[in-house]
């Protein structure tokens, strides 16, 4: 593989995905409106309920700012990863995915370029949300906006790789909507996106164990700690390992002799 051709392919794929995302104005608007609705309605109500309880005001503020907002950032990455996997299924049905994979480059490089492009496209939207969250008095340290970038990239790669692997096993576009709902909501609610793990353990140790085993929880924790200038080594290790495993499944699933293409061969 010549590096010049590989980088040319990467630049082309990234440009295509960026133009595609910008051109889909409805998707662009939904990506920023969805977490703002959660922040403006659910989170404010959550804060009000906590304010009426016996929880001290400082702990109420910590639960609202430190837990909910990073959880909503994780939600943005999760939805974006699933929507990109939906576009992969569409591209496969239209034939453009087959054309891409026939390029004279390793399959893992082509899929990795698509994965990286999808991750990069969501980063400006995430930062826009973090800036708008300041109107709700969510003000992490100034350096936290830079420190969180590697966490956002790794989490986006992990969730994108999960969606990529999922798309390799779905044959028809109409089946994917149900699969998305079956995957997104359990991953989001059975995680630490809205509540700390110790709170879940107080309510249900079983739910806490499920949340800990959920890779999305570790993506949220990685973002949460990085946004406040801390590093969580276990979350980083689990996210890196999960990214490699999911991407390996995606490469296997798009292998003509192994995955989806092999299953279509007898037809």
Encode pLDDT of 186-209 as tens digits.
Answer: 888 888 887 778 778 888 888 889
* Over residues 47-63, mean pLDDT: 47
Would you call 91 exposed, middle or buried from its count of C-beta atoms within 10 A (0-12, 13-18, 19+)?
A: middle
Q: Domain coordinates of the chain in residue numbers?
A: 3-255
Considering all CA atoms of the chain, what is the largest pairwise distance in Å, rounded to the nearest integer? 65
* Over residues 242-250, mean pLDDT: 93
* pLDDT for residue 113 is more than 50: yes
* Over residues 65-77, mean pLDDT: 84
The torsion angles phi and psi of 24, rounded to 5 degrees, stand at -90, 85
pLDDT given for residue 59 in this prediction: 47
* Token representation of residue 99: 């054309």
pLDDT given for residue 96 in this prediction: 67
* Token representation of residue 209: 């164990």
pTM (two decimals): 0.84
Give the tens place of pLDDT for each residue, 130-189: 998 888 777 888 899 999 999 999 999 999 999 888 887 776 666 666 777 788 888 888
Cβ contacts of residue 101 below 8 Å, gap of 6+? 107, 110, 254
* pLDDT for residue 110 is more than 60: yes
């Amino acid at each position: 593989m010549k590096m010049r051709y590989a980088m040319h392919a990467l630049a082309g794929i990234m440009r295509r995905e960026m133009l595609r995302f910008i051109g889909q104005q409805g998707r662009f608007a939904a990506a920023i409106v969805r977490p703002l609705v959660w922040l403006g309605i659910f989170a404010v109500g959550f804060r009000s309920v906590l304010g009426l309880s016996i929880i001290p005001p400082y702990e109420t503020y910590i639960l609202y700012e430190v837990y909910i907002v990073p959880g909503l950032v994780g939600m943005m990455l999760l939805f974006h990863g699933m929507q990109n996997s939906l576009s992969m299924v569409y591209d496969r049905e239209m034939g453009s995915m087959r054309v891409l994979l026939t390029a004279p480059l390793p399959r893992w490089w082509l899929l990795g370029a698509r994965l990286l492009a999808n991750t990069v496209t969501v980063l400006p939207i995430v930062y826009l949300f973090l800036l708008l969250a300041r109107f709700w008095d969510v003000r992490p340290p100034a350096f936290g906006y830079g420190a969180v970038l590697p966490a956002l990239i790794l989490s986006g790669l992990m969730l994108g790789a999960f969606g990529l692997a999922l798309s390799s096993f779905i044959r028809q576009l109409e089946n994917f909507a149900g699969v998305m709902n079956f995957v997104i909501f359990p991953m989001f609610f059975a995680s630490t996106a809205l509540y700390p793990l110790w709170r879940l353990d107080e309510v249900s140790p079983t739910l806490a164990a499920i949340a800990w085993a959920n890779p999305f929880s570790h993506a949220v924790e990685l973002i949460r700690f990085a946004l406040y200038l801390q590093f969580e080594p276990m979350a980083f290790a689990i996210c890196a390992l999960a990214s490699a495993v999911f991407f390996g499944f995606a490469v296997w699933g798009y292998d003509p002799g192994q995955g989806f293409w092999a299953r279509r061969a007898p037809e």
